[in-house]
């Protein structure tokens, strides 16, 4: 088949129309996807810069979830310490009440102390989050990583609030109540606990009051130690909350930076499309004029 020879004017108009069509396709693609850089072909430098920022944002978003879970784990332990303190204060109130109670009432109060001690141990056992309990062993550790850097993390060591180590003696050391029924003895009462005294006798009343004072001092030290440990937990919650907010804002900044490199300005692209469509129509008219010019020359030979 013989080649068709086009005039210079027609060829120029066809090339212009082809370029305009390509630009229209590109602009329509940007409007449909919202991206001005969708692949390395569009702009290799901008594409890989944006990908680097997006990858970094994705990695930190994963860390953010871990930080959030760390906050929940510490809040679980903190809530448990508040409940444990309330139960310990009830034990204090019972011992103070026993000073003016008769023998039968003191026997019932002793049972209440034992029940409260059991509930404190139950609270410690139940204060776990996703399998981690920060209140039943010093070997428990919560480790929260903030980024891919090895030293960018927070390690929180657990405490031992089991019955035998939670309650402290007046010297500040563990009272050693291995079970709830032995708590009053561990706090300084003689065998028989609250009900073995005849408070109508002055010497036994004085002895009971001395033991009660010693037990209350021990419980005050216990509560003070509990608050100290709870304060440390609360401080770590605050640290994680700050890191969580920072990470959230940092992820937003990275994603925004990536968008600046790849996201199309839809207003601009809409205006471009309108201008290109107008140019395309003008190109078609120009091509038509060029064709008519050649037809006019052909008419001279008729």
CB contact at 8 A, 156 and 142: yes
Instruction: State the pLDDT at residue 291.
Output: 57
Q: Tell me how many domains the chain contains.
A: 2
Are both 103 and 208 inside the same structural domain? yes
Task: Clarify whether residues 277 and 238 are in a common domain.
Answer: no
Which residues does 264 contact at the CB level (< 8 Å), separation at least 6? 30, 31, 33, 34, 35, 36
Question: Do residues 222 and 80 share a domain?
Answer: yes
H or E element at residue 263: none
Q: How many Cβ atoms are within 10 Å of 25's Cβ, its own excluded?
A: 11
Any idea which of 88-102, 110-124, 193-207 has the lowest mean pLDDT? 193-207
The rounded percent of the chain whose pLDDT value lies above 90 is 47
Identify whether residues 282 and 136 lie together within a single domain: no
Same domain, 175 and 281: no
Reported pTM: 0.74
Same domain, yes or no: 208 and 290:
no
Q: What is the pLDDT of residues 256-283, one digit of tens each?
A: 887 777 655 556 656 665 665 666 666 6
Does one domain contain both 280 and 239? no
Give the structural domain span for 289. 267-297
Rounded Cα distance between 5 and 48, Å, is 45
In a domain, residue 287? The reply is yes
157 lies in some domain? yes
Instruction: Return the pLDDT at 1.
Output: 47
Co-location of 83 and 210 in the same domain: yes
157 and 284 belong to one structural domain: no
User: Hey, how many other C-beta atoms are within 10 angstroms of the C-beta on 256?
Assistant: 12
Residue carrying the six token digits 């937003």: 252
For residues 136 and 216, membership in a common domain is answered with yes
Q: For residues 77 and 147, state if they share a domain.
A: yes
């Amino acid at each position: 088949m013989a080649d068709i020879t086009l005039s210079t004017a027609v060829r120029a108009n066809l090339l212009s129309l082809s370029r305009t069509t390509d630009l229209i396709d590109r602009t329509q693609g940007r409007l449909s996807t919202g991206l001005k850089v969708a692949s390395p072909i569009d702009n290799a430098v901008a594409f890989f810069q944006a990908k680097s920022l997006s990858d970094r944002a994705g990695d930190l978003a994963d860390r953010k979830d871990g930080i959030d879970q760390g906050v929940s784990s510490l809040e679980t332990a903190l809530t448990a310490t508040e409940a444990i303190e309330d139960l310990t204060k009830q034990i204090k109130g019972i011992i103070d009440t026993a000073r003016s109670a008769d023998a039968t009432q003191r026997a019932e109060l002793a049972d209440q102390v034992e029940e409260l001690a059991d509930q404190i141990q139950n609270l410690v056992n139940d204060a776990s989050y996703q399998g981690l309990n920060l209140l039943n062993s010093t070997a428990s550790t919560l480790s929260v990583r903030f980024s891919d850097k090895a030293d960018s993390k927070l390690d929180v060591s657990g405490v031992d609030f089991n019955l035998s180590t939670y309650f402290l003696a007046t010297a500040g050391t563990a009272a050693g109540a291995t079970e709830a029924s032995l708590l009053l003895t561990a706090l300084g009462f003689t065998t028989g606990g609250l009900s073995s005294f005849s408070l109508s006798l002055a010497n036994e009343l004085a002895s009971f009051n001395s033991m009660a004072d010693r037990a209350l001092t021990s419980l005050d030290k216990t509560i003070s130690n509990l608050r100290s440990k709870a304060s440390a937990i609360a401080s770590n919650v605050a640290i994680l909350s700050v890191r969580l907010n920072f990470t959230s804002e940092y992820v937003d900044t990275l994603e925004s930076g990536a968008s600046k490199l790849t996201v199309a300005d839809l207003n601009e692209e809409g205006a471009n499309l309108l201008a290109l469509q107008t140019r395309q129509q003008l190109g078609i008219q120009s091509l038509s004029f060029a064709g008519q010019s050649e037809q006019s020359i052909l008419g001279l030979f008729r």
